[in-house]
Chains A and B, each alone.
Chain A
Amino acid sequence: MLKIQNLDCGYGRMKVIDAVNFEVGAESVGLFGPNGAGKSTLIAAVMGMVRPWKGSIELDGKRIEGAETHVIARMGVALVPQERELFPGMSVQDNLILGAAYIPHAKDHTSDQMEQVFSLFPILKERRTQYAGTMSGGQQRMLAIGRALMSKPRLLILDEPSLGLQPSIVAEVFEVLKALKSTVSILVTEQNVRESLRAIDRGYVLENGRIVLEDSAEGLKTNPHVIKSYLGL
């Protein structure tokens, strides 16, 4: 699905991502690391929002580094950005419609997709005429995920989906990701390693722009470095 090789990128003269190799197959992959490790930059590079300095990014064998964001989105990569991820002045329903309206392979399946999203997040159905900006943080995050799913993605990328949410909502979000795993490849960046380990198959640890660790979810759970730095045991 997604294959990143020897990727360097950064801002100005500052290198943020340093020789990263990374892969997401038909699976759910976590990308962990502290603040400033470069997780969001790596995502931005995949989405075409940051231009790589070196290396390649492939989607199903096609090189996409340097492509424009909307083109990457139309190839089947959906992003749930870290914050301010909605169109606050639009209704819940319009936000969802918009998720599909400009994606050629999704726009004819809008109502089916919407039913599916409503079954994942029943609260969105209840609130479908409400302005997105008036909903709680957790509901907004669900809507953002719902909107991303509307585009019938092959790869769903979530940038810190648990950020700023109360624990019960975090658990709900990861339950949904777990349920989605069988239908779509998932890449999720997180600082909440404990919760996300339940929803992923495999994970990478990114520190100072380098991948320092790569293992299965089980392996990460028992890794001394992960336990000490991320699980706080």
Chain B
Amino acid sequence: MNRNASRILAALFGVLAVTLPFFAGDYPLQVARNIMMYMALAITWDMLLRSGQISFGIAGLFGIGAYSAILSVIRAGMPAWFSILFAAIFSGVVAFVIGFLILRLRAMYFSIVTLALGEIFRIIIHNLHDFTGGPEGVVIQKGVIFGGNANSLYWLVLAGLAVALAASFWFEKSKIHFALTAIRNNEISAQSSGIDIFRWLLLAFVVTSAIQGLLGGIFVQSYGFATPDAVFSADFTLLPLAMALLGGVYSTTGPIFGAILLGLASEWLKLKIPYGHLVVYGIIIVIVILFMPQGLRQLVRRTSHSADGRSA
């Protein structure tokens, strides 16, 4: 695919995404909202992955964001708008603090600790009954954002996605890209080239966590309630991960394609095979990872690379 074609395609997608509420019904709009939410999470997961760090903590930071947003509205009377921003800041600060502790870890150890931290956050929320509402969760009684208007909520999620996309492009086009790729490729060479590994990892971790928190805030505002099981659901970790792997990692486009395909496939399967769609869904992921370890993006790259005549 040449550059102009992909630009036009991206612009078309953009226009379609923004104008969707004007012609799509409630159901497609809801599906699109879901896909965009997971797409944004998949992008943030990939952004950290570019440094070689595999996080299983998406749901944890998403949940932190969700709870900080809803509790700031209910307990502190914060305006809904501001609570979403607060969710991002709060998750970012949490990531900054735990980043200091865990970003010395690598590979499996980092992954397991992020998984555990997510679970710890969930348990804390679960048990701080008086403040968080415990396992039953909390509901926003009045002052729901946009009065619950479905179109506005759709655009709100789209705005969240736009933030993730912008951050991802920033990561791709700036010096951060070099630093993270170098760290992923070879830490010893990266250090000896003057790269402060810890600082770049911390930056990536804080930025991605803040966006995950922002998305949690958007999620909770658009549904008006939060329970520990709903916002710390493993889905928020596993689906974005599967989408990024399916689409192809280390890029912005991979998670986008992965999210669209997997999101649509799961909706379609849900209708066709109400009992057992998750099995088929799982099989699709297994097949793709077995035969296209670099994801669907690999197909696109293969065709475009054979054209530029590299003498590899």
Chain A interface residues (CB < 8 Å from chain B): 47, 49, 68-70, 73-74, 78-79, 81, 84-90, 94, 97-99, 101-103, 129-131, 134, 144, 147-148, 151
B189 interfacial contact with A, CB 8 Å: yes
Q: CA separation between A31 and B197, bound complex, in Å?
A: 29
Could you pull out 11 A-B pairs where Cβ atoms are within 8 angstroms?
A70-B191, A70-B192, A78-B192, A84-B188, A98-B178, A101-B193, A102-B175, A102-B193, A102-B194, A102-B196, A130-B311
A49 near B188: Cβ-Cβ < 8 Å:
yes
B185 near A81: Cβ-Cβ < 8 Å:
no
Q: Which 5 A-B pairs have the closest CB atoms?
A: A69-B191, A87-B185, A102-B194, A73-B194, A79-B192
What is the predominant secondary structure among interface residues of chain B facing chain A?
helix
Contact status of A73 and B185, CB under 8 A, knowing A94-B178, A98-B178: no
B158 interfacial contact with A, CB 8 Å: no
A73 near B192: Cβ-Cβ < 8 Å:
yes
A102 near B181: Cβ-Cβ < 8 Å:
no
Q: CA separation between A81 and B191, bound complex, in Å?
A: 11
**From B175, B189, B311, B312, residue with most partner A Cβ within 10 Å:** B189
Within 8 A of A (CB), among B119-142: none
A85 near B175: Cβ-Cβ < 8 Å:
no
Q: CA separation between A199 and B119, bound complex, in Å?
A: 59
Contact status of A87 and B191, CB under 8 A, knowing A94-B178, A130-B312: no
**From A47, A78, A101, A129, residue with most partner B Cβ within 10 Å:** A101
Instruction: Identify the closest chain A residue to B199 (Cβ).
Output: A70
B195 interfacial contact with A, CB 8 Å: yes
Closest CB-CB distance, A201 to chain B, in whole Å? 24
Instruction: Identify the closest chain B residue to A97 (Cβ).
Output: B178
Q: CA separation between A68 and B190, bound complex, in Å?
A: 12
Q: CA separation between A47 and B191, bound complex, in Å?
A: 9
Q: B186 is contacted by which of A85, A102, A134, A148 (Cβ under 8 Å)? A: A85
A47 near B192: Cβ-Cβ < 8 Å:
yes
Q: A89 is contacted by which of B181, B189, B197, B312 (Cβ under 8 Å)? A: B181
Contact status of A151 and B181, CB under 8 A, knowing A87-B189, A101-B175: no
Taking CB atoms, residues of chain B closer than 8 Å to A78 are 192
- Kindly supply a per-residue 1/0 record for chain B positions 167-187, scoring 1 wherever the CB is within 8 Å of any chain A CB and 0 otherwise: 000000001001101100110
Taking CB atoms, residues of chain A closer than 8 Å to B311 are 130
Q: CA separation between A19 and B194, bound complex, in Å?
A: 29
Contact status of A69 and B189, CB under 8 A, knowing A90-B181, A97-B178, A130-B310: no
Q: CA separation between A73 and B194, bound complex, in Å?
A: 5
Closest CB-CB distance, A67 to chain B, in whole Å? 11
Q: B194 is contacted by which of A49, A70, A84 (Cβ under 8 Å)? A: A70
Instruction: Identify the closest chain B residue to A106 (Cβ).
Output: B194
Q: CA separation between A134 and B181, bound complex, in Å?
A: 17
Taking CB atoms, residues of chain A closer than 8 Å to B192 are 47, 69-70, 73, 78-79, 81, 148
A98 near B182: Cβ-Cβ < 8 Å:
yes
Taking CB atoms, residues of chain A closer than 8 Å to B188 are 49, 81, 84-85
A103 near B186: Cβ-Cβ < 8 Å:
no
A147 near B310: Cβ-Cβ < 8 Å:
no
Closest CB-CB distance, B132 to chain A, in whole Å? 40
A86 near B194: Cβ-Cβ < 8 Å:
no
Taking CB atoms, residues of chain B closer than 8 Å to A134 are 312
B178 near A101: Cβ-Cβ < 8 Å:
yes
B196 near A86: Cβ-Cβ < 8 Å:
no
A131 near B312: Cβ-Cβ < 8 Å:
yes
Q: CA separation between A189 and B287, bound complex, in Å?
A: 48
Q: CA separation between A148 and B192, bound complex, in Å?
A: 8
Taking CB atoms, residues of chain A closer than 8 Å to B197 are 70
Closest CB-CB distance, A228 to chain B, in whole Å? 35
Within 8 A of A (CB), among B19-53: none
Q: CA separation between A147 and B310, bound complex, in Å?
A: 22
Contact status of A86 and B193, CB under 8 A, knowing A102-B179, A129-B310: no
Closest CB-CB distance, B251 to chain A, in whole Å? 12
Taking CB atoms, residues of chain B closer than 8 Å to A131 are 312
Q: CA separation between A49 and B186, bound complex, in Å?
A: 14
Q: CA separation between A97 and B175, bound complex, in Å?
A: 11
Q: CA separation between A181 and B196, bound complex, in Å?
A: 29
Q: CA separation between A85 and B190, bound complex, in Å?
A: 9
Taking CB atoms, residues of chain B closer than 8 Å to A103 are 193-194
Closest CB-CB distance, A166 to chain B, in whole Å? 21
Q: CA separation between A131 and B197, bound complex, in Å?
A: 23
Q: CA separation between A73 and B191, bound complex, in Å?
A: 8
A90 near B185: Cβ-Cβ < 8 Å:
yes
Taking CB atoms, residues of chain A closer than 8 Å to B179 are 102
Instruction: Identify the closest chain A residue to B195 (Cβ).
Output: A102
A87 near B181: Cβ-Cβ < 8 Å:
yes
B193 near A147: Cβ-Cβ < 8 Å:
yes
Q: CA separation between A99 and B188, bound complex, in Å?
A: 13
Within 8 A of A (CB), among B182-237: 182, 185-186, 188-197
Closest CB-CB distance, B68 to chain A, in whole Å? 34
Q: B196 is contacted by which of A47, A68, A79, A89 (Cβ under 8 Å)? A: A68
